C-alpha cells in the first residue's frame, strides 16, 4: 500500500530526515501546527483503519523510545524491550490488534533520532543484556522504502557487545541490510503463518515462500534468524499446514542459525471482533471456540491450545531439536504439558532467551 498524503509536524519541518522522506515519497504534503484535525479526520472516515494506512504523519516521539513489553502478570512474559520508532502498518492483517489499539489508527514516524540514540547509549552503558525489538507497534521493515532507519540501528547495535536488536517483519524489504557490518548483534525475524491464513487474513504481506527466501538471504549475509508463529489459527487441517511451514523453514535455513521460535495462538480484545467482521467479512478466524482469558482477551480453550502446541513442538523438535522454543503469553500449565518443563526451572523465560542470544549473537 502507498501513502497518498504526508502530514508534517511543524516542529520537525526543517529536520534533515523529514526533508529526505519528503523526497522519497511521491505524495503531496502539508505542514500542520497541531494534529487534532488530522486525528479527527481519520477517526471520522468510513474505514478509519484503511484511511490511517494511507496517511503518514512525521512528528517527534514526545515520550520514551524504549518501553518494556506490556505483558500481564497472569502469563509468562519474555521481558522484551520495545524500541518505539513509529506506529501502525501499511500491511493489513485481519487479526492485527493495532486496528483497535490506536485511536485513531494512523501511520506515524518519529524523526527525533538523536533522542532515540541517546536512550540507546544509556541502555548500552548499563552493560546488561537487553533484547530490543521494533516490531511491537509497527512492522520493523515497512519504513525501508522511505528511511535508512534499519541501517542506522544495525550499525548502532554492532558497536556494542551487550544487547541484541530484533527486526521482525512480514515483508522482504532487506536490500539495505546487505553488506552491513552487523557483528551478529541484529536478529532478522519473520512472522509466519500457513499459506491459507496468509492468503485469507494477511493482506498486502509477502508470501510465505518470499519470506523464507528473504530469511535465507539474510543468513547468507551472516545474520542470526528468528521466527514467530503468532497468531496460530485453529481450523480443519491446520496441523498439517503448520507442519508444512516448519519443514519449509528448514529447507531454507540452518537450524543452527535460529536463535528462537515463538508460538502463540490467536487471541483478541473483544472490541477487535466487530472491526474484523466489518473489515474482513469473509474471515473465519473469530468463529472458533473461545473463552475469556485472565487478561480479558478472548482465547481458544486451553485444551485446544495445548493440543496444537504439542504437535507444533514435535514438528520443530523432529528437525531442529536444539532450537529454543517459547510461548508468548501462556501459563505454567501450557509450558508443562507442552514442553515438559516450567520456565522457572530454567531460570525464567528471560534467562532462557538471554542464553540463546549469548550462544548465537556473541553478546556478553
User: What pLDDT digit, counting tens, does each position of 307-321 carry?
Assistant: 999 999 999 999 999
pLDDT at 71: 67
User: What pLDDT digit, counting tens, does each position of 184-227 carry?
Assistant: 999 999 999 999 999 999 999 999 999 999 999 999 999 999 99
Phi first, then psi, for residue 45 (nearest 5°) are: -65, 160
pLDDT at 17: 94
Q: What percent of the chain is modeled with pLDDT above 90? A: 93
Among candidate residues 280, 269, 273, the one with its CA nearest the CA of residue 47:
280
d(C-alpha 105, C-alpha 137), whole Å: 11
Mention the CATH class of domain 5-361.
alpha beta
Among candidate residues 351, 359, 324, 329, the one with its CA nearest the CA of residue 339:
324
Are 126 and 59 within 8 A, CB to CB?
Answer: no
At residue 260, does pLDDT exceed 80?
yes
pLDDT at 322: 97
d(C-alpha 60, C-alpha 48), whole Å: 22
Q: Cell numbers 540507546 correspond to what residue? A: 120
Helix segments in 53-194, DSSP class H:
98-101, 113-125, 149-158
Phi first, then psi, for residue 255 (nearest 5°) are: -55, -30
Kindly give the pairing relationship between strand 66-68 and strand 81-83. Answer: antiparallel
- Give Rg (Cα) of the chain: 20
User: What pLDDT digit, counting tens, does each position of 270-304 carry?
Assistant: 999 999 999 999 999 999 999 999 889 999 999 99
Are 105 and 48 within 8 A, CB to CB?
Answer: yes
- CA geometry: angle at 91 spanning 89 and 95, to 5°? 90
User: What pLDDT digit, counting tens, does each position of 169-185 carry?
Assistant: 999 999 999 999 999 99
Among candidate residues 298, 266, 361, 326, the one with its CA nearest the CA of residue 80:
326
Give SS3 for 53.
Answer: coil
Residue 29, H or E segment: strand 29-32
Domains of the chain, by residue range, sit at: 5-361
The cell for 256 is: 543452527
Give SS3 for 267.
Answer: strand
Query: Which one has a higher pLDDT value, 70 or 57?
Result: 57
pTM comes to 0.96
Give SS3 for 167.
Answer: strand
Phi first, then psi, for residue 123 (nearest 5°) are: -65, -45
d(C-alpha 64, C-alpha 275), whole Å: 29
d(C-alpha 34, C-alpha 9), whole Å: 7
Amino acid at each position: 500500500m502507498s501513502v497518498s498524503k504526508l502530514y508534517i509536524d511543524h516542529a520537525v519541518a526543517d529536520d534533515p530526515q523529514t526533508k529526505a522522506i519528503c523526497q522519497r515519497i511521491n505524495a503531496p504534503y502539508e505542514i500542520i501546527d497541531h494534529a487534532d484535525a488530522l486525528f479527527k479526520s481519520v477517526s471520522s472516515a468510513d474505514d478509519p483503519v484503511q484511511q490511517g494506512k494511507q496517511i503518514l504523519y512525521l512528528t517527534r516521539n514526545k515520550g520514551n523510545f524504549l518501553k518494556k513489553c506490556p505483558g500481564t502478570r497472569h502469563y509468562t512474559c519474555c521481558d522484551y524491550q520495545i524500541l518505539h520508532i513509529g506506529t501502525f502498518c501499511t500491511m493489513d492483517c485481519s487479526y492485527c490488534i493495532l486496528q483497535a489499539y490506536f485511536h485513531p489508527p494512523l501511520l506515524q514516524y518519529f524523526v527525533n533520532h538523536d533522542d532515540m540514540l541517546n536512550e540507546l547509549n544509556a541502555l548500552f552503558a548499563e552493560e546488561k543484556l537487553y533484547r530490543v525489538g521494533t516490531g511491537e507497534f509497527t512492522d520493523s521493515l515497512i519504513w525501508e522504502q522511505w528511511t535508512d532507519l534499519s541501517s542506522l540501528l544495525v550499525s548502532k547495535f554492532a558497536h556494542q557487545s551487550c544487547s541484541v536488536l530484533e527486526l521482525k517483519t512480514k515483508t522482504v524489504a532487506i536490500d539495505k541490510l546487505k553488506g552491513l557490518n552487523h557483528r551478529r548483534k541484529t536478529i532478522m525475524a519473520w512472522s509466519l503463518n500457513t499459506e491459507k491464513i496468509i492468503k485469507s487474513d494477511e493482506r498486502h504481506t509477502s508470501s510465505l515462500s518470499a519470506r523464507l527466501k528473504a530469511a535465507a538471504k539474510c543468513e547468507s549475509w551472516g545474520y542470526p534468524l528468528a521466527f514467530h508463529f503468532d497468531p496460530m489459527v485453529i481450523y480443519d487441517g491446520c496441523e498439517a499446514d503448520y507442519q508444512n511451514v516448519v519443514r519449509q523453514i528448514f529447507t531454507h535455513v540452518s537450524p543452527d542459525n535460529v536463535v528462537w521460535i515463538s508460538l502463540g495462538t490467536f487471541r483478541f480484545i473483544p472490541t477487535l471482533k466487530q472491526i474484523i467482521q466489518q473489515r474482513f467479512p469473509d474471515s473465519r478466524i473469530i468463529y472458533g471456540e473461545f473463552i475469556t482469558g485472565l487478561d480479558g482477551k478472548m482465547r481458544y480453550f486451553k485444551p485446544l491450545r495445548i493440543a496444537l502446541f504439542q504437535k507444533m513442538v514435535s514438528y520443530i523438535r523432529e528437525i531442529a531439536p536444539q532450537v529454543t522454543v517459547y510461548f508468548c503469553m501462556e501459563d505454567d500449565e501450557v509450558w508443562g504439558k507442552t514442553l515438559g518443563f516450567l520456565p522457572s526451572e530454567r531460570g525464567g523465560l528471560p534467562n532462557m532467551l538471554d542464553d540463546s542470544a549469548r550462544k548465537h549473537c556473541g553478546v556478553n
